[in-house]
Amino acid sequence: MSDFDAIDSLLAAVGPEAELPPPHVRRELRERARLSKAQVARALGVSPSTVTAWEGGRDPAGETRTKYAYLLDGLAARFAADATPATPSTAESQAVAQAVAQAPAATDALPLRTAPEEGGGGDGDGDEVETLAAPEPCVLCGHPAGTRVAGFAQHLDPADCQATASVPDKSTAPPARPEIAPPARPEIAPASRPEIAPAGKPSPRAPRTATRPSERSKGPARRAFQEPSGPVDLIGQAVRAALTEHHGDVEAATAALLKRAIPDAMRLLDETRKGARYDIVAHPWIPDILKKQTSRGADQIWEARPKWTRHALPPGKHEVTALDINGAYLSALKTHLPLGQLEHSAGLPHDRRRAGVHLITPPEWEHEDVLPNPIGQRDEPGPLWVTEPTLRLLLRLSGPKHALCAPPEVHESYTSGATENLLEKFRIALKDARDTAIAEDDEVTLEYVKAMYSKFVSTMGESNYNRELYRPDWMHIIRSQAFSNLWLKALKAHDEGLTVVRAMGTDELHVIGDWRRVFPEGRGVTEVKVKDVYIAGTEGEGEE
């Protein structure tokens, strides 16, 4: 390899300067090969800005020029070679390739290139077969070979190549012309390998195409559609690590994972917020209504937890199904969360771009006998502090589509600019882990994920178990969102003709009727599962 260097530099010094294609073609070739400037620059030993300058009209000189010409010609030959076989190629690419091919052909002063067209004219007999003093590993099978063809050590007889069958798996890089391809490029075109292997005497073109960095190489960074850069599989890693640590003892591993669920959730949150638009404001100023009045007491926010049982069932005996909403808090992570510090306002109409807590006078609810009150079982009359999801639910129900109640009266608010996507990546990561765990029947991951999201929600306020996040407003909003989601499910059941018997807590809905046509059954977050089936009601006259 070093002798190639020496020869090349000698020839470059002797001969006239290598011809280069016009600047725009240089750039076009590089981009067609999906090589970044940095990649090219690294291979040529210059800085990326130098490559920019070359593509902008400046011409390199000396040895660098020869290298650059070699690279461009190689790229042109690559595209020309791609164009001539059956591979579909655009007319444009051919034009480019020809434009480049003509440029060097005009001066035949390219000392180190054997252009593929010219090499092809040699008809295989032009291969220079060298006998090596010290055997080098064969590029095809990896075993020592005593001969070198066109710069590649290999066996002349295919029978000597011991591992022909497994050739495509071996990724021993054929060392290309040393000045172009960095030696650590493992890409070998698997398609081109079988052509060489049985022949034993490869045509000079074959190794050349094989060594070119092809489209499979890493593309430039500025593509329109990039691979989604999700968080690394933190959940899977943690589970695997815990299982290995406890030698596969599922119970011990689960216990260990549950213990570290909160810090792990915070780490996952940090991971999912990388490169995001909004920063998580973890310690804003908190208005007094969100502060606990005593250490064990509650603050003044009403979360609208439903706790409703139908007063009177329709006459007769009924089979009641208790449905359980899967992952209610997980789904509730998608909600309008205030980003920054809450700011006070009074007497303003509701702004959809903001979220927070609001002091409202709830409207009268006249459907208590069939549907729960959307603000929950509130005993005291008068204004109360509710969160964003509850207010949005009330506004929605008072709208023309439902028209179930009067609009609530908003007195004052503490709000901040809001987004629904703040925890979205976090939620998706957990949901995906949960779905995978269910599909694989992986109880450890399932428990771990459940602990992560439920503890994350319950400790994001003033909790000593999670001091990294101090957002009681978010905690209330996420909980209210879960209640609001349950309420909407009850409404859906009611609208579809089911009899809603009870809506309780975050995830409990009791209905009479054929619920399977309304809610899909399963364990996914969009599905429901049956908790219990029981008979309720008085003896109707039909049975007497």
Partner 1 sequence: MPQRNIDFGKFGARGIKGSDAVARKLDELAGGIATPVTARRGWIARLHYLTRSAKSRQAAKEAGLTVTDRTLKAWLDGRRRPSKANLERLDAAYWTVRRQNVARHLLKRLNREGRGTRVEIHPLNQSQVPRPLQRVVEYRTMNVRRWDRIVASWAAGDYQGLDDAWTTDVLPDLGSQWGQYEYVTNVGFAA
SS3 486: helix
What DSSP designation does 301 have? E
Q: For residue 413, how many other CB atoms are within 10 A of its CB?
A: 24
Name the E strands within 374-485: 384-387, 409-419
Environment class of 449 (CB within 10 Å of its CB; exposed 0-12, middle 13-18, buried 19+): buried
Q: How far is the CB of 279 from partner 1 (least distance, A)?
A: 7
Q: Using the rule CB under 8 A, give the single segment among 282-290, 324-332, 367-375, 442-450 that binds partner 1.
A: 282-290
Closer to partner 1 at the Cβ: 51 or 475? Answer: 475
Q: State the number of binding residues for partner 1 (CB under 8 A).
A: 13
Q: Does 295 bind partner 1 (CB under 8 A)?
A: yes
With a CB cutoff of 8 Å and minimum separation 6, the contacts of 124 are 201, 203, 204
> According to CB under 8 A, which one of 467, 516, 517, 531 is a site residue for partner 1?
467
Q: How far is the CB of 411 from partner 1 (least distance, A)?
A: 20
Rounded distance between C-alpha atoms, residue 265 and residue 273, angstroms: 12
| Strands 528-536, 318-325: pairing kind | antiparallel
Print the binding letters for residues 413-452 with partner 1: x by CB under 8 A, - otherwise.
----------------------------------------
Q: Does 226 bind partner 1 (CB under 8 A)?
A: no
Q: Does 284 bind partner 1 (CB under 8 A)?
A: yes
What DSSP designation does 84 have? S
Q: Does 341 bind partner 1 (CB under 8 A)?
A: yes
Q: How far is the CB of 278 from partner 1 (least distance, A)?
A: 11
Which residue type sits at 423?
L
What DSSP designation does 405 have? S
Closer to partner 1 at the Cβ: 62 or 340? Answer: 340
Q: How far is the CB of 523 from partner 1 (least distance, A)?
A: 36
Helix then strand count (H, E) for the chain reads: 17, 14
Q: Using the rule CB under 8 A, give the single segment among 51-59, 181-189, 279-287, 396-404 that binds partner 1.
A: 279-287
Residue with tokens 């090596």: 132
Q: Does 163 bind partner 1 (CB under 8 A)?
A: no
> According to CB under 8 A, which one of 340, 407, 497, 540 is a site residue for partner 1?
340
Closer to partner 1 at the Cβ: 3 or 279? Answer: 279
| Strands 499-504, 508-512: pairing kind | antiparallel
Return the sign of the alpha-carbon dihedral for residues 30, 35, 36, 37. Answer: negative
Q: Does 282 bind partner 1 (CB under 8 A)?
A: yes
> According to CB under 8 A, which one of 226, 294, 349, 544 is a site residue for partner 1?
294
Residues near partner 1 (CB under 8 A): 279, 281-285, 294-295, 340-341, 467-468, 470
